[in-house]
Structure 1
Amino acid sequence: MAENELRIQHRQRVLKGATILTGITNSEVKCTVRNMHANGAELKVPIDARVPDDFLLYVPIDGIGYKALVRWRRDDRIGVEFTGTEPKPHWHYG
């Protein structure tokens, strides 16, 4: 079964710069949001990036921090589910 057939909601294709904020000594991983909908997204990350299973995804163009939970990983792609939102952390410069 194709991955698309498993999705409940259609994801809109986007190309947005974003930052994965791990909260571990304020560490950050730059990434690109490839597609998204209200409940989740697909991210492109550096192949050697260490991304925890849950994190805050800050998308500057949206002005929102999405609480994200990793649902799948494949090479340089990560699928996440959004579990809520919060303001941009005060320590993040973006």
Structure 2
Amino acid sequence: MIEKRTTQRHRVFKGGAITFEGSDIACTVRNMSAGGAAIDLEGAVTLPQAFALSIACDKFVRNCRPVWRNDRRVGLAFVQ
């Protein structure tokens, strides 16, 4: 497999939430970098092209977009 990431990701295991259209959906953040993250979702969720990822314990909020999906795991890219 060819590594396409421009920055190294660090493993984490934190509760988070994705927010769009006034709804929050719980997720588990599995790894993060300066440019993105990978999250696990509990079930099948149709995601919009843009939403916010928040991690309350870190007071972290970033706008992001999905870039790949594999079953329950979704790769996110942070956007400005």
Instruction: Check whether the contact 1:47–1:75 (CA below 8 A) recurs between aligned residues.
Output: no
- TM-score after normalising by structure 1: 0.78
Whole-Å separation in 1 of the counterparts to 2:44 and 2:68: 16
1:57 corresponds in structure 2 to 53
**TM-score if structure 2 supplies the norm length?**
0.90
Matched, 1:69 2:56: no
Larger radius of gyration: 1
What 5-or-longer segments of structure 2 have no aligned partner?
Answer: none
Q: RMSD of aligned C-alpha atoms?
A: 1.3
Query: In structure 2, what is the Cα distance between the partners aligned to 1:80 and 1:37?
Result: 10
Query: Hey, what does 1:12 align to over in structure 2?
Result: 10
Larger proportion of strand = 2
- The aligned residue for residue 43 of structure 2 is 47
Q: Which runs of 5+ in 1 are unaligned?
A: 85-94
Q: How many residues align?
A: 80
Whole-Å Cα distance in 2 between the matches of residues 50 and 70 of structure 1? 11
Q: Which runs of 4+ in 1 moved over 4 A?
A: none
